[in-house]
Structures are given as structure tokens and as C-alpha cells.
Chain A
Amino acid sequence: MAITALIIFSWTLIGIAMVVLSAYAVRHYYLAYSRMCIAHPRETNELVGFVMPRITVFVPMHNEERVARDILQALVDCDYDWKLLEVIPINDRSTDGTRAIVDDFARRYPFIKPYHRSEGNGGKPAALVDATVNSTGEIYLMFDADYVPGRAVLKMLTAPFLDPEIGAVMGRVVPHNIGDSLLSGLLSLERSAGYQSVQQARYNLGFTAQFGGTVGGVRAAALRAVGGWNPESLTEDTDLTFALLLNGWRTAYVNRAECYEEVPQDWGVRRRQLSRWVTGHTECLHNYWPDLVRARFLTRGEKWDAIFLLAMYLTAPIIVLGWLASLVLFFVPEAHAVPVLPIAMLIIGYQLFSNQATFLEIGVATLLDGTRLRALLMPLSLLNFFANTGAICNALRKFYWNRFWGSGGDGDGWYKTHRTRPGSDGKGFGLNHTKVEGMGD
């Protein structure tokens, strides 16, 4: 009796895993193929330079003396009309030389207006809340301090706002330090799949792109309409995406607005980053799913897409439960009976198709980008897959522990991502280029 119950329970878990993961796999295939085949991706590249509202660029900084000059110089060099540009470096309680660097730039360029913050809550959302008060732009653009925007990025990110339905816009982040560690190399594959394949596909299909809080922007009026930044959220960007969506505002994605970033090169940093994303996403899922289901402005497809996006991290524990259930069944001889062909086919089919789905997105992104050498790293992505699965499960365990039993667990707070780029004191882009053959040419 107990054995039968165990078998039924295990099969139920496997069944749930099959249904959920197959649904995600179908989504992955759909997105990858739609991205690959669509003849004219949705874009505003042809209109770059014709839309020139007044913009404010925020650069939150906390002890960023190594990289502060680079981003400020890059913003000075951008081809946006200085008369319509306001740059607000948010010096958030820095104890190093950040303040002096920012003030030096402010003296030389009148459109740079520093905001020095010495008190209040820590973290980017809280700093943005304070800095937004005195800004004058119709559009707010944001860059993390270690990012280096190219000269045309401000115009590219501004162009989609010609559409009154666009509340936010997201550019593409491109890892620069791909050779720092195997992890950073593998993360570059993950990022290209996330942006080149998934973000662009979702935007092409009419779903809202996801605002990432950097290399992006938001319409000031739309931000005010949804109550501003949520300083309580660990992922204020995801929170804003869905707050906007529920009010009828869309987020545009601009694949050409590319900006280098530094991806984590050691697993500790990556784990904390992932943990923050998992917590923020899942929090948003709990906060927004009832409103998303009821939302008047969204089609059924858009609702499903939004739920899929917010619930994506829940697939990790489902995968692990599926594995454990298979392990149990392996040790129960009664479960080795000859199965019905269609059911067995479903199980194997689900394993084959589901597991390959995410790699198809990587492959499509690599094909489109021409970063062919990195494509060869794909088999090693399996390591990243296992590493991510474990880290996500752990983050979810902490999240639900905190949610149901208060703050007994070690919850995640805001961590400043460790900077690996040495910076160049504003000379050039501060980017050390060692070209890898076949990767970008």
C-alpha cells in the first residue's frame, strides 16, 4: 500500500514537472523561432535622431571612483544635444573619491548636475526615488556606474518614446569580460539568448519587454502615474515593468542600443545576483498575478506571457522534484513494469525537447550575433544549468521561509556588484580590447 502510494506520488510529481516544463519548452521554441524568422523585427532605428525630448540620465554610484570617470566621459561624448540633456550622477554615500570626480565633471559640463546623498535607505531604488525629485527630463534614462554607453545609445533609447503607449524602454547589455572566467564566458551566452533571442522575440510578438533598470529608460509621466519607484522591491525594474503594464504602458526593447557590462566572474557574486533576481521576481509574481489575471488592458496571450515570465524561477525546484521522483521510482521494482508506449514517449519526449529548448535560444542568438567561437562553449553550459538550478532553489527556499515564517531565514538584501574593470580615468572607454578571432568580426 505504502509502495503504491509512493509510486503514485512520484508519478504525480513527474507529471507536474512534465506539464510545467513542457509548457516552458514550447514557449522557448516559439520565441526562438519567431526571433529567427521574423523578417522585420519591431524597431525604431530608422527614426533615431528624429525624436529629441528633454532627457535626464541617472547614474547611481556608491564608491565608484574606479569607473565613474569612464561613464561620465562616455555620456559627455554621446551625440545627444547637450541643451536637451541632463545627467544626474547619484553619489550615494560614497566614502571614496567618487564625490570629487563627479564634482569635477559638474564644473566642466553644466548639464551634469550631481546629487549627493548622505542619508536615507541604501540601495539603488531608494537613491533613484530621492534623485528623481529634482530632475527636469521628460524621459529618464539609467545606467549603472560600470556600464559604458556608446555614442548613439541615448538617441536609440529615446526613439521608442515617440509611441505614447511606451512607458519604458530597455537596451541590450553585452558582457565585456567574457574571458575573465568560465562563468563569465557562459554568462555571455546566457545574456545573448536573453536579449537577442527572448527580449526581441517577445517585443516582436507584442508582449511587453522587461525593463532591466540599466541601459534603459522610463517616461517621467508614466513613472509618476504608477507611483514612482518601489524602494521596497529588490528588483525595482521588474516591479516597474509590471506596474506600468497594469496601467496600459508597454516596455519597448531596442536591440541596437548595446552597452557593455561586466558579468560576475565568480560564483559567489553570481549566486547573490541570482538570489536577488529570484527573490524580486517571485515577489512580483505574488504581488501582481491577481491584477495581471484581471487586467483589462491585456490580451490572454499577454497575461500568459507575463505569468510565465514572473514564474520562471519556480521551474528550478520543479526540475529537482522531478529528478528526485525519478530516483525514487528507480529503486522501486514495482515501478519497472512495462509502460504504455504513449506515456513513455511523452516522458522521453519531454526530456529531450524541454532540455534542448533553452539551448536553441542560445544557438539562435549566436547565429544572429555571429559570436561563433562562444557557440562551442554550449556543452559546458550544462554546468551553468546545474549551478543555476541549485542557486535558484536555495533562493526560493529562503524567500518562502521568510514569507511564511518571518525573517528567520537569511534573506537577501541589496549587494553592490563587485567591479572588475580597472577603469581608464575617462580616457577612451576604459575598455581593454583584446580581440578574439571569429567572435565579433
Chain B
Amino acid sequence: MIPAVSTGGRSAQRTSIYLHRSVRTLPLTRTRLWTALVLALAIFLLIAAYSVPIMQVHSDLANVFLRWAGIPNQGWRPVAIFPGLEPGSGPLVPIPTFNQVSEGARFALILGIVALLIIARRYSLFRNLANFLIVLLFASAVVNVFFDTFQLQSMVFGQIWLRQELLVWLLMPFVSLLLFMLPQPTISVGISWMLLAQVYGFLFSVLRFVFCLGVLHYTGLLFMPLLWFAFGTLSDLLFLLFFYSISVYQASGNLWGVRSSWQSQL
């Protein structure tokens, strides 16, 4: 039997060329690799060198948004970020203890748990996430009931926030390098994504920080674990994922416009 030749038999029934949908390979050029590494290192060093002014801008912007959002702030106090680094500043937003929290806030906690229970019951795909959030709210309620003196000052919260976000900004160039720069067929587009992610990460951090401070101010620590889980590094992950999905969408479109990268293969 002769294989795979069009002799008019059963094997000759294909009517159109099968342009296989897969690109075989996306070669990593040395130029792209070095550009990405140099850029990532440059951003890292810039942030490390200017970390104090950057944190100051973060605090200034947060101050503006705190005012716009009507959250009272009694000023900013220096907070230690890391040993050897000049201090950043943490806000002085009043946060009530459990026995000072309003009835409305306690009701909101119960409402939150009920809402999550309904979501868990109705939407199976959300079930495990909702269950985990319920655990966080429940843990928060338990701690508040049994240790009602437990207090988290807004300054400490600001300190923890800045610590975490500073590290995210420092490390993000390297994550961006892996997600945006190296898989992108066009170097300039990769660079744009890297820079955009860096700037957006900074602004998004300010907005989340202000929102968390607002919730802390009005509901005390009741929602704090949930907020920390949802709007902490998970949100950094989320926005990176969001950007990544668009960059893949766009890069995929470019690749499929340039089919020769795989058509030349056998």
C-alpha cells in the first residue's frame, strides 16, 4: 500500500489545504532577551533608588483620594518599611474597635455572609471561593467577638501596605519580562506592556489602599481579612492577568497575520 499520495483513492478526499492552526514555535531572540533583561533591571534599580520619593507620591495621591472620598485623615506619620531604608508614611485614619463599630456595619457583615452563602449555593463555580471568603468573614467575626481589644492602627496598615506594594513594584518588571516581553513578537509592544503594567500597578495600588482605609474607617476590622485577601496581592495578580490576557490576544492576532512563521515548515 502506498501511503499518503493522491492516487484518487480514499486518501485523496481532502478538498482544501489544512493550515494547521498551531504556530510551531516562537523563537526567543537574543535581542529580545537582552532588551527585556536590561529594561527589567533598569526599572528595578530605578524603583530601588527612588523608593522613598515613589512611596511619597503614593501617599500624596492617596491623600488626594482620601479627601475626595470623604475619609477623615488626621495626617501622615513616618513608618518603618524595611531596615536600612528611609521610612515611608502611614495615614492617621480613625478605625473603630469592635465595641465601637456601628450596628449597620455588623449587619453588613451578616448580610455579606448570607450573600456569599447564596452565591455558593446558586453558582457552583463560585462555591469554593465563596466558602473561603465566608471563612475569612467568620474568622474576623470570631476574633472581634473574643478579642474585642484587638486593634489595627491605620498607620500599621499603611506600613504593611507599603511594604507589600514596594516589593510588588520592585519585582513586577521581572514578572512582566516573563509575561509580556518575551512572548511578544514585537519588542516595542513588549516594552509598552512592561511600562504600562508598572504605572498601572502603582495607580491601582493607591485606589485599593484608599478603598481599604475607607472600609476600615466605617466598619472597623470586620471586613479586613476579606479586603486584605481580595485587594492585596490577589489584585496585583488579577490586573497582571488582565493585562496578560489582552497582550496574548493582541500577540496572537499579530502572529496569525504573519503566517509565514509556520507555513514555511513542512
Chain A contact residues, CB within 8 Å of chain B: 29, 33, 36-41, 45-46, 48-50, 52, 79, 81, 151, 155, 182-183, 196, 255-256, 266-268, 323, 327, 330-331, 333, 336, 338-341, 344-345, 348-349, 351-353, 355-356, 359-360, 363-364, 366-373, 375-379, 381-384, 386-387, 389-391, 438, 440
Contact = CB atoms under 8 A, between A and B. Distances in A.
B25 A41 contact: yes
B241 A378 contact: yes
Contacts of A256: 20
B4 A48 contact: yes
Contacts of B266: 45-46
Contacts of B4: 48-49
B127 A79 contact: no
Given A330-B228, A367-B251, A368-B26, A387 B3 contact: no
A345 B171 contact: yes
Contacts, number: 191
B125 A338 contact: no
Contacts of B131: 390
B27 interface: yes
Contacts of B13: 151
A366 B252 contact: yes
A344 B136 CA distance: 23
Chain B interface extent, by class: 35 or more
Contact of A355 (B11, B152, B182, B237): B237
B265 to A, nearest CB: 9
Contacts of A440: 21
B178 interface: yes
B164 interface: yes
Contacts of B147: 331
Interface stretch (B60-68, B79-87, B106-114): B79-87
Contacts of A331: 139, 143, 147, 150, 225
Given A331-B143, A363-B245, A370-B252, 17 more contacts: A36-B26, A37-B27, A183-B125, A268-B124, A327-B225, A331-B150, A333-B150, A348-B168, A356-B175, A356-B244, A359-B241, A367-B255, A368-B22, A371-B21, A379-B241, A381-B241, A386-B128
A395 to B, nearest CB: 12
Contact of A376 (B83, B128, B249): B249
A390 to B, nearest CB: 3
Interface of B: 1, 3-4, 10-11, 13, 20-28, 80-85, 124-129, 131-132, 136, 139, 143, 147, 150, 152, 156, 160, 163-164, 167-168, 170-172, 174-175, 178-179, 182-183, 224-225, 228-229, 233, 236-238, 240-242, 244-246, 248-249, 251-253, 255-256, 266
17 contacts: A38-B25, A40-B24, A183-B125, A330-B228, A336-B160, A345-B170, A352-B237, A356-B244, A359-B244, A363-B245, A369-B22, A376-B245, A377-B245, A378-B244, A381-B241, A390-B128, A390-B132
B171 A255 contact: no
Given A344-B163, A345-B171, A372-B248, A50 B22 contact: no
A45 B139 CA distance: 57
A369 B24 CA distance: 9
A141 B97 CA distance: 67
Nearest to B82: A341
A186 to B, nearest CB: 8
Given A49-B4, A376-B245, A390-B128, A336 B156 contact: yes
A376 B246 contact: yes
Contacts of B85: 341
B240 A344 contact: no
B171 A352 contact: yes
B128 A391 contact: yes
A275 B95 CA distance: 44
B129 A367 contact: no
